[in-house]
Amino acid sequence: MTIKEDTKKEETETQESKTDITEIVNKAEEYVTNLFNDDLPEKLLYHNLAHTQEVAEIAQKLGEMSEIGKEDMEVLLLAAWFHDTGYIKKYNGHEAESVKYAEEFFKKQGYPEDKQQKVSKLIMSTVAGHEPQGLLEELIHDADMAHMGRKRFFRRGELLRVELENFQNTSYMELEWEKKQYSFLVNNIFYSEAGKEEYAKRRVKNIKKQRQNILKARKVTVRTNTGKDFGRGIDTLYRANYRNHINLSAIADGKANMMISINTILISVIVTLSGASLSVSQGFAIESLRYTIPILILLVGALVSVFFAVMSARPKVTSKEVDMNDVKENKISLLYFGNFLGIPKEEFVTYLSNLKEDQKKLYDSMSLDLYNLGIVLKEKYRLLTVAYNTFIIGLTTTVMAFIFIFFYTNA
């Protein structure tokens, strides 16, 4: 039998069965339809009028297969029509709101109190995790869960996923959602004989297919976490940044070495010439004392400059205690050498192993490492700036002092 023939058969059976529906059920159908069309939030993509109509049709079909009486069929169909109306006001705990809508409708219709209680009890039995008690509760449960045993389970499941993300302000990863769907299929069953007969076989097929979906989602997740879906752009970005940091560090060390060489030569020359001039003759020494101030300025300037240059080029290894909770929360990166020295070797190896499986953590750790390297570079260049500024100021002051003393003493 083709899908079209199967659909036509279902429609024919539905039309024939509707002739036995009581007047109160017809009014309930009209009331709920208007209610959903007027007040239902647009974000409800799964629990909407289409779902309610489907549950009511299946409930009637299962009720007829179970050969329940006319009164029980009436109660069952009323519960089916009203069981999700509470979603209009509340997403979690909607069943109690559904009962209120039903009671409000029944009061207007003058529906018997004992039947109202039966309908309300059936509606409340649709609460997640409730174990059905009695045939009617089994039938309403199976009608509500019938999508587990239909081909449309996966298509309808995507609508439910979007709906949950809208109302719970969350986002499901592909693997996480597939596992959630698998858990739903495995942990929920059909209770009534009619439900088992109609939907149990297809539910088993859906479980098998869902296992395959989990395997596919796991492959996608692995590709994402290992960075295979990011392309080379992100790798090039980090590679270029690391290279830039290394080059800048090498430039800083080169500048520091140049400043150290120049200043140490100056200091050596000044000390040597000053010592030699004082030892030549007393008269020459007295004659040279007028240049003592500029020589001292140059000497002090060179000494301060070489001090900061050495501090910039000096290797510094920090070893501090690392809080592993901060590491787990991605507040600290163990890729930075100043951090991983403070933990045992085994923990460092485990940390790297975890990074291989989670690309997001890996890139976050690399980002923190780059930031730490940037801080080191900032300190290097700060000290170099002080060294160069001191050298320029000292040299300039020395020259000006020499000129001033020369002209002053020869005026």
Mean pLDDT (the chain, rounded) = 82
- Give the model's pLDDT for residue 210: 92
Q: In percent, how much of the chain has pLDDT > 90?
A: 35
pLDDT of 3 over the 50 cut: no
pLDDT-derived band at 403, boundaries 50, 70, 90: confident
pLDDT tens-digit map of 109-123:
889 999 999 999 999
pLDDT of 284 over the 70 cut: no
pLDDT of 410 over the 80 cut: no
- Give the model's pLDDT for residue 271: 79
Task: Write the CA distances from 326 to 65, 323, 339, 356, 365, integer angstroms.
Answer: 61, 5, 12, 19, 12
Q: Tell me the two tokens of residue 306.
A: 């070489």
DSSP assignments along 74-125, one per residue? HHHHHHHHHTTGGGGT-STTHHHHHHHHHHHHHHHHT--HHHHHHHHHHHHT
pLDDT of 4 over the 50 cut: no
- Give the model's pLDDT for residue 22: 81
DSSP assignments along 248-260, one per residue? HHHHHHHHHHHHH
In single-letter form, the type of residue at position 147 comes to H
Does domain 3-144 fall under CATH 3.40.190.10? My reply is: no
pLDDT of 101 over the 90 cut: yes
Q: Going by C-beta distance under 8 Å and a sequence separation of 6 or more, which residues neighbour residue 32?
A: 49, 52, 81, 82, 85
Please report, for the chain, how many H helices and E strands are present, in that order. Answer: 18, 0
Helix ranges, 188-291 (H): 193-195, 201-225, 232-280, 282-288
Q: Tell me the two tokens of residue 269.
A: 């020359």
- Give the model's pLDDT for residue 136: 93
pLDDT tens-digit map of 127-176:
988 889 999 999 999 999 999 999 889 988 988 999 898 888 888 888 88
pLDDT-derived band at 326, boundaries 50, 70, 90: low
